[in-house]
Chains A and B, each alone.
Chain A
Amino acid sequence: MNGVHDMGGMQGMGPIRYEKNEPVFHERWEGRIYALNRAMRAWRLWNLDTDRHALEVMPPAEYLRMRYYERWVARLEQQVVKFGLVTSAEVESGKPADGARKSPALTAAMSDRFVSRGIPSAQDPKVAPRFKVGQRVRARLINPAGHTRLPRYARGKTGVIGRDHGVYLFPDTNAHFLGEKRQHVYSVRFAARELWGPAAPERDSVHLDMWDDYLERA
């Protein structure tokens, strides 16, 4: 979707604010919500792409106003209700409505392994690439209303395949439980001038990782 999260190339967002010796978490709740988000995904009711999309659909003004981990709070409050683990009344009150208890999907003993995102292997000889390294390609001019990892600033632009990264799940469908659509992902080099016009330095470039379905022959 053409949401406010798709920020590449936007202007007017102000100076970059740098904090020296920044802690991993500024307050305790940030660490807890980080861990809660990761632990709850272990139930496998939703996936990484679903979680990314849940941030994208937040109202733009709220998205920009909220601190990073505040978005994670809002997201988890929504996901646990949406996927039927708790009711909204329980979230409001912070108290279980009954005595029903499950057994946690993620235990401390497993949490080491679960720090990994569990991205499947990129090796799959059964899935053929549609493009070759060195080939000229165009990013498709599309405006999907759902989740996509094709940023607006690259759509319709021409680049060159730099590397074939192997096979990955297609986020546009995986986010919405419409199938994994495993396909090749490539590093595509776009000249800065192709993206931003003649004022950009001639030799500079931006490299994006793009799924097969985002590309067409140029």
Chain B
Amino acid sequence: MANNPTRRDFLFTVAAAGAPGLPPHRAGVAAPGPGQPHMDPHQHDHEHQAVPSDLTLRVKALESLLVEKGLVDPAALDALVDTVEHRIGPRNGARVVARAWVDPAYKKRLLANAPAAIAELGYTSGQGEHMVALENEPKVHNLVVCTLCSCYPWPVLGLPPVWYKSAAYRSRAVIDPRGVLREFGLSLDPDVEVRVWDSTAELRYIVLPERPPGTAHMTEDELAALVTRDAMVGVAKAAAPGAGAGV
């Protein structure tokens, strides 16, 4: 791992330069108070650290070695990347949720047998063969985490965002879910029951958010546009009409 000279040189350089690689909170920046989410668009530069060009070189060297030895097919790598960049992602999950909102029979099938119901819409690849859908209700809020690594329902949400895989989220989601939700801007009433789902085995969880009020007139496509990735992880609610859903 850290045994090659390039790597050691890099680590030494980082240390000598005053550790720009450390996340800001370890570099002495105060944590935010409640209701102060960290959404500064520049902060991800710190989270991702002073990017070592060393990683680009290491991966290039490893790929070319494995290709030259006939161990991998570069076209297969292209196909794998293309799938996660273009074919799977939260828009798939949003279609599942919108269908469940407009079709009570589909919702029933989704809650009883999520993999089969999701496959009805044509989404079957990846980390999600064994899926469970969790229904949010007025007095029940579900939140999904993987404290041990990064388990996530790939076919319906794609690959997980950096925050989902971060130590901050993984450590706190189980012990202080309400605090985590406040950081995402969601304050739940004390009488709402919070259920956290730690993905410790091969089951993958998707939250079925509540259908927002004022959407009775909307089509399935319009509804799908309100369903964000964050709502399907449980760190947000589905967007109100006109609020702009983003991802």
Contact = CB atoms under 8 A, between A and B. Distances in A.
B196 interface: yes
B198 A119 contact: no
A16 B171 CA distance: 10
A43 B71 contact: yes
A17 B66 CA distance: 35
Contact of A108 (B44, B73, B163): B73
B91 interface: no
Contact of A165 (B130, B145, B170, B174): B130
Given A39-B76, A168-B202, A209-B200, A68 B150 contact: yes
A17 B89 CA distance: 21
Instruction: State which size class the interface on B falls in.
Output: 35 or more
Interface stretch (B100-108, B175-183, B218-226): B175-183
A196 B174 CA distance: 9
Given A7-B167, A78-B1, A207-B198, A100 B69 contact: yes
Contacts of A40: 66, 71-72
A64 B21 CA distance: 11
B58 A77 contact: yes
A106 B72 CA distance: 7
Contacts of A65: 21-22
Interface string A14-29: 1111111110111111
A15 B174 CA distance: 15
Nearest to B167: A13
B201 A52 contact: no
A111 B246 contact: no
Nearest to B115: A122
Contact of B174 (A104, A112, A195): A195
Which 8 A/B pairs are nearest by Cβ-Cβ distance? A14-B25, A94-B61, A8-B147, A209-B201, A108-B75, A101-B70, A35-B80, A35-B77
